[in-house]
Amino acid sequence: MPYRVTFVCTGNICRSPMAEHIFRRHVEDEGLDVEVDSSGTGHWHVGDPADERTVATLRKAGYRSAHRARQFEAGWFGHYDLIIALDRSHQTDLEAMAPDEAARRKVRLLREFDPDARDPDVADPYYGRASAFEEVREQVEAAVPGLIEYVRRGAKEPSGR
């Protein structure tokens, strides 16, 4: 059975789809049996494609970008081994939704897998310039090696910090 990872942001059109596509490519390159997807804590963009700036950023860096937004549902905790929040507000929302302590322990912040991260949050680029999307890509890519190592170890202990 594959290891299952999902990335969660607010509307599932900027940060989490970017993290999904970047991480998916890296696990494929590593030959790991990992299913990767994403969703949002809110319902505003359900069914929408990823933000055009997310798509442009992913394509420019050589990643795929096909995506349809969806909202995370509390019933999904049992499906995932690891639920990656893109910022502390998502982490708080997800932990509040979790049915028990075991489910809450599945929720982690993406940037905790980057040993050089100074801020635990991946900033929301939605209201910013195109360069903000590049910054998100760089932050996601910086966390990928630690996240891959965490998944390889079977998620027994935190990576990075």
Positions marked catalytic = 9, 15, 124
- Rounded Cα distance between 159 and 111, Å, is 10
SS (H, E, C) 110-121: HHHHCCCCCCCC
- Rounded Cα distance between 108 and 48, Å, is 26
**What residue has token string 């937004």?**
69
Q: Strand order of the sheet with strand 34-40?
A: 34-40, 3-9, 82-85, 107-109
49 token code pair: 């494609």
- Rounded Cα distance between 146 and 150, Å, is 6
**What residue has token string 């202990």?**
157
